[in-house]
Amino acid sequence: MSSSALTTTSYAILGLLAIKPWSTYELAQQMDRSLGRIWPRAQSKLYEEPKKLVAFGLACASEEQVGQRPRTVYSITSKGRRALAAWLHDPGAGPVLEFEQLLKIFFAENGTRADAMANLAAMREWAQARSTESLAIGRAYLDERGPFPHRLAQLELTSRFLTDFYALVGDWAHWASQIVETWPDEPGRAQPDLTVIEETVRRAAATAEADAQRAIQHGDAS
Amino acid sequence: MSSSALTTTSYAILGLLAIKPWSTYELAQQMDRSLGRIWPRAQSKLYEEPKKLVAFGLACASEEQVGQRPRTVYSITSKGRRALAAWLHDPGAGPVLEFEQLLKIFFAENGTRADAMANLAAMREWAQARSTESLAIGRAYLDERGPFPHRLAQLELTSRFLTDFYALVGDWAHWASQIVETWPDEPGRAQPDLTVIEETVRRAAATAEADAQRAIQHGDAS
DNA sequence: TTCTTCATGTAATTAGTTACATGATTGA
DNA sequence: TCAATCATGTAACTAATTACATGAAGAA
């Protein structure tokens, strides 16, 4: 009885069930390959959450046999569809970022320059690997081989975000590497570059005032 | 005894202690205002983790009195500095993104167009709010009023990343809003735009091959 | 036929969050 | 002097992860 209320994770699963019925293993796969990029959860969670959905009447489980072994396939109920719609009605929470590599740059003065450079190299590799994935998925859709083509209108929005995020990570790491390269051996003695701050302030200002700017450009300033 | 090993959260605290001794409350503040942007944790964690550091000999606690009430101030030990340096030596894990708002766009076909638009508006507001914060911090440093100016070389790197991330969120939400605006009332019937995918593929390819490109430009292709 | 990988889960543990409790300080 | 807010923590709970266990299917 892990009763309590439904979490975002529950709704993430429910959203998948709204596409089609899945076995738990398939759900886990899906989580691993696609959903996990925006809502990462461990495999084992995927075996628990659907039970909660069933307890709430939002999904139903059907037992199948594969060899001697039972498997559970979950489908959404109409109550489940209503719950999903209700969830979509309130705006969600903003992004939460957990970024260990960046943390290590933040504290870089306690290590060596080489440490920081290696860390940045790992970031670039990460960005490349993720981009390669995105690329393969995008190409599959261009070849009309992508799964659930009827969801493409939504998918093309989210995959653009992810692609741009990976590009941001890669570009930033590349930019930062060029700076860290010029640091002395002990990063604690590195000198700041005020023009970097100035440019950062300019960019922050642009985003902070973005809506106002756009409104003015469209001529509907108050 | 929540013994076990040190986590990234432990090292995040240890990194703060390397700057100066802090009371637990100050640590929590710091976590809330700055570190939390890249390593978000609940306040109460911040009362637990330092005890673990002490148990490992990486920090030491000193009791002070404020009125009748005791307060604990933690400082790093030299063993703690060595542990921090060792931690910095291995590259960290890549970014982990949890993004409920994007999840709701991913599943938008189960709600209304208005739901999706409201969700995107919330995203823009989030980006604006965070950018405003970044802006204030950046300006403080330009005025030489920022805390720990000797750490500016590191800070200017990480705050550039965050600023660009907030810009990405804001720009994407703005772009997506323009597309979602053209959707029919039921997002399930929205038509995909193949040129969007084509552009995404182009961008993903650029990042996936970025290092190779840069190597070629620098004339050190293998 | 045996080894490996795919598939289907459960159990134990822990990391983390929410909620609460209460003393000190400030200012209206 | 009373309310509000700052400061300092603890306790209860739960979400999530890691590790384990084992059957089925396919390859060598």
Model confidence over B70-82: pLDDT tens digits? Answer: 889 999 999 999 9
Lowest mean pLDDT among A100-104, A189-193, B56-60, B215-219: B215-219
Mean pLDDT of A111-126: 97
pLDDT of residue A4: 66
| In chain B, residues 22 through 41 whose Cβ sits under 7 angstroms from any atom of nucleic acid strand C | 40-41
Q: Does A2 score more than 70 pLDDT? A: no
pLDDT of residue A187: 95
- The nucleotide whose C1' lies nearest the CA of A66 is D24
Q: Does B2 score more than 50 pLDDT? A: no
How far apart CA B206 and CA B201 sit, in angstroms, is 9
CB-CB under 8 Å, B138 with A37 = no
pLDDT of residue A36: 93
Whether the CA torsion B19, B41, B93, A173 is positive or negative: it is negative
DSSP tag of A95: P
Name chain B contacts of A106, Cβ cutoff 8 Å.
15, 35, 38, 154-155, 158
Position A46 confidence tier, pLDDT thresholds 50, 70, 90 = confident
Q: Does A222 score more than 50 pLDDT? A: no
The token pair that represents B194 in the structure block: 């193949």
Q: Which residue has the tokens 């961008």?
A: B203
Lowest mean pLDDT among A175-189, B36-50, B186-200: B36-50
pLDDT of residue A64: 85
Instruction: Among A154, A166, A200, select the one facing B160 at the smallest CB separation.
Output: A200
Q: Does B21 score more than 60 pLDDT? A: yes
pLDDT of residue A168: 98
The helix, strand and coil proportions of chain A, stated in percent and rounded to the nearest 5, come to 65, 10, 25
Q: Does A134 score more than 90 pLDDT? A: yes
Through-space separation of residue A31 CA and nucleotide C4 C1' in angstroms = 24
Are the beta carbons of B76 and B59 closer than 8 angstroms?
yes
CB-defined contacts A:B, below 8 A: 358
Name chain B contacts of A88, Cβ cutoff 8 Å.
104, 107-108, 110-112, 115-116, 119
How far apart CA B219 and CA B222 sit, in angstroms, is 9
Position B68 confidence tier, pLDDT thresholds 50, 70, 90 = confident
Q: Does B32 score more than 90 pLDDT? A: no
Residue A159's nearest CA partner among A126, A135, A123 is A135
DSSP-based three-state secondary structure for A29: helix
Residue with the larger pLDDT of the pair A146 and B200:
B200
pLDDT of residue B222: 43
CB-CB under 8 Å, A104 with B99 = no
How far apart CA B8 and CA A81 sit, in angstroms, is 39
Lowest mean pLDDT among A79-93, A170-184, B57-71: B57-71
pLDDT of residue B212: 74
pTM of the full predicted structure? 0.94
Mean pLDDT of A48-57: 91
Q: For residue B164, what is the enclosing H or E element?
A: helix B152-181
